[in-house]
A and B are shown apart, each in its own frame.
Chain A
Amino acid sequence: MSAITRDEVAHLARLSRMALTDEELDHFATQLDVIIGAVAKVSEVAAQDVPPSSHALPLTNVFRPDEVRQSLPPQQALSGAPAVEDDRFRVPRILGEEM
């Protein structure tokens, strides 16, 4: 049985604002299924006494002091933007929701 359905891929695509064709949905569903299946092998070897880990390094409390550092000049900050207006990043129309 597949771990990921075509509907789930469609849902993820919607959340990411990606328009996928029916062929692409089938294609990615198959691919993602293989990936998830491979990752799932980990849980076969992880016994109950092995806690899930989220970080590779055994570190905690890595902080920086509250000190101001130089920001980028605005021209440089905006230099990679596809479109700029009034020193702001111009983005396409945001559909469907309001925040």
Chain B
Amino acid sequence: MTTIMAYDEALDRFEPVLGLETHVELGTASKMFCGCKTTFGAPPNTQVCPTCLALPGALPVANEKAIESTIRIGLALNCSIAEWCRFARKNYFYPDMPKNYQISQYDEPLCYDGYLDLEVEGQTFRIGIERVHLEEDTGKSTHVGGATGRIHGADYSIVDYNRAGIPLVEIVTKPITGTDRLAPQVARAYVTELREIMRSLGVSDVRMEEGSLRCDVNVSLMPRGSSEWGTRTETKNVNSLRSVERAVRGEIERQAAILADGGKVVQETRHFHEDTGTTTSGRSKEEAQDYRYFPDPDLVPIAPDPAWVAKLKAELPELPSVRRKRLQAEWGVSDHDMESMHNAGAIELVEATIAAGAPAADARKWWMGELARRANESGVALANLPVTPADVARVTELVASGALNDKLARQVFEGVLAGEGTPDEVVAARGLEIVSDEGELLAIIDQVIADNADAAEKVRGGKVAAVGALVGGVMKASRGKADAARARELILEKLGVSG
């Protein structure tokens, strides 16, 4: 049983230092060094050829689009682009690569020395980017036998090489200090921002659940007041944004307990467990890391033409952080509201709703209020709710025209989310339109006044505040379909009081 120290106490005593290694599978049509397809989920070993199976005599040739995408990623992360660099062989004996080495880059990454600025809870953090390099992904092993389906205790393994050779970009941060208590949030914000940058560049589909974006989290602690870094651990394969946050937090709590107890943190790889949010020990680093890198003689050096790099730089799309600043100014919302929308994944939805004709304030109100609440309740991402920005825009239009009030609008959303159709279909099917027929409304008002003689008397006697009970009665009797403001006017008129 691993002991942990409560997060707040851990942070009172120690300062965390983070390092994040993120792997992004590029969305090229073909693999890094051969023409095999890269489709996710294809039947096993149907996307393999002599090159990616390492059959004798096969030679790799680099995919130009993958080189281009990597340079664009480097530029988006404010990196310098190497004038000249090489691929290297990373040698290890493991069946996920049939060559017994992985083609990667060693001391000559394609992109180096950049940064990424993040806003977290009103503070700006500049995350240094050490390097962005290009390599090939490995095959997928399945371990057969043993209790847990994991390697330990397995009888043997079976390997699918469809993924072997898919271009994989590795993005490595410099050590991240000064995050203090926000370390878990900063780590999450970093991966979130990287994912958005990849999307805006169109270089990867960045689906963490399919493994096209994977994160390894390095954490170490140093005692407060010290400037000497502690021993770090590397937690592998953290496969959701939430898990990035939990893995950092969990490692801080675990390491703090060891250090506080006078123990030593072991430098090792750890595995994150989604179900418990904790990590367990993997292999220790010392014995595994002897990769004997050397330049791959089969692949000639890369020397990107400066004119090409300049052109790629000039053609970069508007990056997510710049776009958010622009939208924030256009919408006139506070930093805090913008950050909330960003964290909720609402920015694109709000933007599309405005594009469909809704006022900015209304678009934000519905997505961040009613719809965010419902997404939360059902545990799905806002973007995955079965309601479109056009639906939201239509509802705001119906409210603005007086056909719906907010209460009815919420019922419309309930219907849309339940699959009852478009907002107009839900309004028609559920009969949700505001009662605009004054005759009908007056009849309801007469009944309510008769049923609530006490309240009516108070209003007549000058206690105008008591009208609330009557308006409430009208709304109830009309099942929410009355226009509350109009009902109030009519009640006061009837009782001979001016509002």
- A interface with B by C-beta (< 8 Å): 11, 15-17, 54-57, 59-72, 74, 77-78, 80, 85-94, 96-99
Is the CB–CB distance between A64 and B295 below 8 Å?
no
A71 close to B37 (CB less than 8 A): yes
Chain B residues with Cβ below 8 Å from A80 are 55
Interface residues of B (CB under 8 A from A): 28-30, 34-37, 43-50, 53, 55, 61-67, 84, 86, 91-96, 98, 141-144, 150-152, 154-161, 236, 271, 282-283, 288, 290, 292, 294-295, 297, 299-305
B34 touches A69 (CB 8 A): yes
- Picked from A11, A57, A67, the residue with its CB within 8 Å of the CB of B30 is A67
Tell whether A68 pairs with B29 under 8 Å between CB atoms, given A74-B43, A77-B53, A86-B44: yes
Q: Is the CB of A63 within 8 A of B61?
A: yes
Q: Is the interface of B mostly helix, strand, loop or mixed?
A: loop
- Could you jot down 20 A-B contacts, CB within 8 Å? A17-B93, A54-B295, A60-B301, A66-B30, A71-B47, A72-B50, A86-B44, A86-B158, A87-B160, A90-B156, A91-B95, A91-B158, A91-B159, A93-B154, A93-B155, A94-B94, A94-B154, A94-B157, A98-B282, A99-B151
Instruction: Assess the A99–B96 pair: CB atoms within 8 A.
Output: yes
Query: What total count of A-B pairs have CB within 8 Å?
Result: 152
Contacts of A91 in B (CB 8 A): 95, 141, 156-159
Closest to B154 in A: A93
Check if B302 sits within 8 Å of A55, measured CB to CB.
Answer: no
- Alpha-carbon distance A43/B299, docked complex (angstroms): 24
Residues of B within 8 A of A90 (CB): 156-159
Q: Report yes or no: B48 in contact with A72, Cβ–Cβ below 8 A.
A: yes
Distance A9 CA – B295 CA, assembled complex (angstroms): 22
Q: Could you say which residues of chain A place their CB within 8 Å of the CB of B159?
A: 88-91
Q: Is the CB of A61 within 8 A of B302?
A: yes
**Are A85 and B34 in touch, CB under 8 angstroms?**
no
Is there contact, CB below 8 Å, between B44 and A15?
A: no
> Considering the chains assembled together, what is the distance between the CA atoms of A60 and B299 in angstroms?
9
